């Protein structure tokens, strides 16, 4: 009975999507239509990764026996973080899917700074990103190496900084702490707990994902790209411009190298590296997603650290290249 | 009421997007949003989301945040306290506003017909940088011979990077794209090229020289002509025929 209600709702939504456009007036302003198209494309692209992240989070939280992950972890805090920042090499999620997966790690008892380290390293230090960045740039100008080493380093830097925080719980949102309490004390069969986790995680991530994607779409149709790119060859301003572009465009880290490649002829190599390090970690979509779990203060700290680090890295590459 | 909202903002929004994905895939229009080569993953996970959503109806409303209640008064009080705090804090207002906004966006997406990006947007993205979509593969492919399947994006990459323009002299081309502006003695032909999804769409642009008056900007056309190396070593396409057409059902190149 309940199941058929669920199915009925899905059919109704499909009917709305198929028939509503024919009933409504077709004159939508071009910019609004473009913004919706862009936002929807980001959502269609990222939904499967979010779903995969939720599934993995359920696996980690509900199905993996206690101690299995923990047994493999080194004892020392810095070594644990160093290992966790390589977890992205074997966990097949991209930046959007990382957030629900990282929440699963937190609920399982990993510390806040350890989880942050994973969350910030994984979008860059993962096989798909390495392959696509290599396809785009090869080893020219050290862009690939700078990106990988930079991503790994900034993740461990942030993990180390926040491991010194006196009360790590204050880095999380009240809402997420409440969720943790509920989940940890949950009872019932594994199937039931899996379904509950499915609902809890989607509830946490979906509104942020939708708003982040809508923002990304809106910014793209409202901010003229020329305004950012007029300053491509200046060694300092070009870095700032590419970082601003990275925050604005919210392209998945799996393929942002191809996007960056089209700027290679007009922009400095350092600015491309800054773009490739900034985008996966703190673009508008990602900030909205991180806000589901981390407090505003913690988020400001993370964003500031990443931006300063990316700028410094870009400047060093420009000096050496 | 509260628990219905919780479900809508999580599984509901996800299910709506999964439905959109599947309807687009079934009607063959998924290419308007993402590269069809990668669509199998989006389709598979959309099915997972829908199965999960349908199954979640078995769980009584509110079950996902009720589990603490069996664990004695302390927890119960804790939750009541939290809930109370949430109702009055600015954070709660933001959460409500966010929920309304997210719902509005998704409902708009459900209600609007699928659409491609406008020519104006393509023009505003054109920053004059030559597109190098697939690295150097295309150019090496081009110099080995078969250019019959080349689109606007491939040719734009070749034109921008070819080291021996003469190799392409005389190649016959038939290209579809939209007019993105007049030039001296012709017009620019553009097409958006997608790597992964529409948000990374980049305009590729080719200079076409044609004798007839150029079509209006934004008009889709099919151009047949020949590649010619100009005196300065640049490549250009000399059009023999320019036919105005309706926007094709697959407006992008991948």
Per-residue pLDDT tens digits for A116-133: 999 999 889 888 788 878
Kindly determine whether residue A10 and residue B133, on different chains, have CB atoms separated by under 8 Å: no
Lowest-pLDDT choice from A71-75, B124-128, B190-194:
B124-128
Per-residue pLDDT band for B233 (boundaries 50, 70, 90) equals low
Superfamily (CATH H level) for B120-245: Nucleic acid-binding proteins (2.40.50.140)
Is B169 in a helix, a strand, or coil? coil
Chain A, 205-234: which have a CB under 8 Å from a chain B CB? Answer: 205-208, 210-211, 213-214, 216-217, 220-221, 224-226, 229
Extract the tokens encoding B7: 């479900």
pLDDT given for residue A184 in this prediction? 65
Task: Give the gap in angstroms from C-alpha B133 to the nearest C-alpha of chain A.
Answer: 6
Residue B181 has a pLDDT of 80
Rounded to the nearest 10 degrees, what angle do helices B13-26 and A190-222 cross at? 70
What was the pLDDT predicted at B50?
Answer: 95
Q: Which of residues 10-49 of B touch A (CB under 8 A)?
A: 10-11, 13-24, 30, 32-34, 41-42, 44-46, 48-49
Q: Measured between CB atoms, does A122 come within 8 Å of chain B? A: no
Give the model's pLDDT for residue A300. Answer: 94
| pLDDT confidence of residue A153 | 94
Among A24, A28, A40, A284, the strongest candidate for a mutation testing the B interface, having the largest count of B CBs within 10 A, is A40
Taking CA–CA distances from B15, the nearest residue in chain A reads: A10
A287 pLDDT higher than 70: yes
Mean pLDDT computed over every residue of chain A = 84
pLDDT at A176: 85
Shortest Cα distance from A156 to chain B (angstroms)? 30
- Report how far residue A79's alpha carbon sits from residue A3's, in angstroms, rounded to the nearest whole number: 47
pLDDT at B168 over 90: no
pTM of the model: 0.80
Q: Given an 8 Å threshold on Cβ–Cβ distance, is B21 in contact with A255?
A: no
Tell me how many degrees the CA angle B62-B67-B69 measures, rounded to the nearest 5: 100
- Judged against a pLDDT cut of 90, whether residue B45 lies above it is answered with yes
Note which residues in 129-148 of chain A have CB less than 8 A from chain B.
Answer: 135-136
Choose the most confident range, by mean pLDDT, from A252-266, A299-313, B133-147: A299-313
Which residues of chain B lie closer than 8 angstroms to A254, CB-CB? 196
d(CA B165, CA B173): 15
The residue with tokens 């997007």 is: B17
Angle A296-320/A112-121 helices, nearest 10 degrees? 40
Residues A257-283, mean pLDDT to the nearest whole number:
84
Q: Inter-chain contact B75–A135, Cβ cutoff 8 Å?
A: no
Task: Give contacts of B 89-108 with A, CB under 8 A.
Answer: 91, 95, 98-99, 101-102, 105-106, 108
Which of A292-296, B101-105, B161-165 bottoms out in mean pLDDT, i.e. has the lowest? B161-165
Instruction: Place B66 in a pLDDT band, splitting at 50, 70 and 90.
Output: very low
Q: How many CB pairs under 8 A join A and B?
A: 255
- Mark yes or no for CB contact A214/B99 under 8 Å: no
Q: Does residue B54 belong to the interface with chain A, where contact is any CB pair within 8 Å? A: yes
pLDDT of residue A301: 94
Q: Is residue B228 exposed (0-12), middle (13-18) or buried (19+ Cβ within 10 Å)?
A: middle
Domain definitions of chain B by residue range: 2-111, 120-245
pLDDT, position A229 = 66
Residue A193 is predicted with a pLDDT of: 84
**Given an 8 Å threshold on Cβ–Cβ distance, is B68 in contact with A206?**
no
Inter-chain contact A30–B55, Cβ cutoff 8 Å? no
CB contact under 8 A, B67 and A258: no
* % of chain B with per-residue pLDDT over 90: 20
pLDDT of residue B81: 45
Residue A271 has pLDDT above 70, yes or no: yes
CB-based contact B105 A214, cutoff 8 Å: yes
Q: Is the pLDDT score of A141 beyond 70?
A: yes
Whether ipTM exceeds 0.85 = no
* Element spanning B176, H or E: strand B172-183
Q: Kindly give, in sequence order, each residue whose CB lies less than 8 Å from that of residue B2, ignoring residues fewer than 6 positions away.
A: B62
Alpha carbon distance B10, A195 (integer Å): 12
**Tell me, what's the pLDDT at A186?**
64
> Is the CB of A265 less than 8 angstroms away from the CB of B79?
no
The token pair at B171 is: 């190649």
Mean pLDDT of A31-35: 88
The whole-angstrom separation of Cα B137 and Cα A314 is 28
pLDDT of residue B194: 82
- pLDDT confidence of residue B150: 81
CB A110 within 8 A of CB A60: no
Rg (CA), chain B: 26
CB contact under 8 A, B54 and A188: no
């Amino acid at each position: 009975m309940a199941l058929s209600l669920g199915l009925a709702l899905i059919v109704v939504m499909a009917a709305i999507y198929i028939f509503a456009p024919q009933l409504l007036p077709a004159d939508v302003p071009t910019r609004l239509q473009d913004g919706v198209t862009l936002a929807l494309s980001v959502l269609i692209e990222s939904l499967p990764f979010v779903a995969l992240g939720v599934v993995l989070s359920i696996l980690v939280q509900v199905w993996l026996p206690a101690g299995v992950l923990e047994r493999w972890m080194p004892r020392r805090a810095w070594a644990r973080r160093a290992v966790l920042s390589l977890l992205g090499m074997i966990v097949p999620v991209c930046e959007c899917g990382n957030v629900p997966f990282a929440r699963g790690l937190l609920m399982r008892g990993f510390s806040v700074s350890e989880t942050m380290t994973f969350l910030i390293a994984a979008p860059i230090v993962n096989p798909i990103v390495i392959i696509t960045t290599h396809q785009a740039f090869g080893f020219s100008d050290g862009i690939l190496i700078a990106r990988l080493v930079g991503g790994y380093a900034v993740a461990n830097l942030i993990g180390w900084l926040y491991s010194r925080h006196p009360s790590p719980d204050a880095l999380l949102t009240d809402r997420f702490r409440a969720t943790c309490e509920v989940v940890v004390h949950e009872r019932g069969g594994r199937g039931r707990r899996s379904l509950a986790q499915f609902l809890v995680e989607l509830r946490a991530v979906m509104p942020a994902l939708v708003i982040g994607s809508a923002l990304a779409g809106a910014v793209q149709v409202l901010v003229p790209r020329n305004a950012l790119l007029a300053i491509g060859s200046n060694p300092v301003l070009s870095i700032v411009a590419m970082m601003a572009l990275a925050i604005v465009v919210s392209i998945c880290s799996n393929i942002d190298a191809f996007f960056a490649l089209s700027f290679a002829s007009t922009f400095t190599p350092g600015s491309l590296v800054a773009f490739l390090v900034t985008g996966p970690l703190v673009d508008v979509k990602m900030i909205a997603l991180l806000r589901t779990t981390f407090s505003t203060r913690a988020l400001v700290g993370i964003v500031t650290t990443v931006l300063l680090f990316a700028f410094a890295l870009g400047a060093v590459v420009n000096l050496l290249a | 009421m509260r628990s219905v909202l919780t479900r809508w903002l999580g599984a509901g929004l996800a299910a709506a997007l999964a439905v959109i994905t599947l309807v687009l895939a079934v009607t063959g229009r998924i290419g308007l949003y993402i590269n069809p080569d990668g669509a199998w993953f989006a389709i598979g996970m959309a099915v997972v989301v829908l199965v999960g959503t349908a199954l979640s109806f078995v769980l009584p409303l509110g079950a996902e945040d009720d589990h603490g209640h069996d664990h004695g008064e302390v927890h119960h009080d804790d939750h009541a306290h939290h809930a109370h705090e949430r109702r009055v804090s600015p954070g709660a207002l933001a959460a409500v506003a966010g929920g309304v906004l997210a719902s509005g966006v998704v409902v708009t997406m459900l209600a609007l017909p699928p659409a491609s990006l406008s020519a104006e947007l393509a023009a505003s993205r054109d920053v004059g940088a030559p597109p190098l979509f697939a690295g150097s593969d295309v150019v090496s492919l081009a110099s080995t011979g078969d250019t019959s399947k080349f689109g606007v994006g491939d040719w734009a990459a070749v034109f921008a990077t070819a080291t021996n323009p003469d190799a392409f002299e005389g190649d016959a081309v038939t290209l579809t794209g939209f007019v993105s502006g007049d030039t001296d003695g012709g017009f620019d032909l553009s097409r958006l090229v997608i790597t992964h999804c529409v948000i990374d769409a980049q305009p590729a642009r080719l200079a076409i020289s044609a004798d007839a008056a150029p079509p209006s900007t934004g008009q889709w056309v099919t151009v047949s002509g020949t590649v010619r190396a100009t005196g300065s070593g640049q490549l250009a396409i000399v059009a023999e025929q320019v036919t105005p057409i309706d926007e094709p059902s697959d407006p992008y190149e991948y």
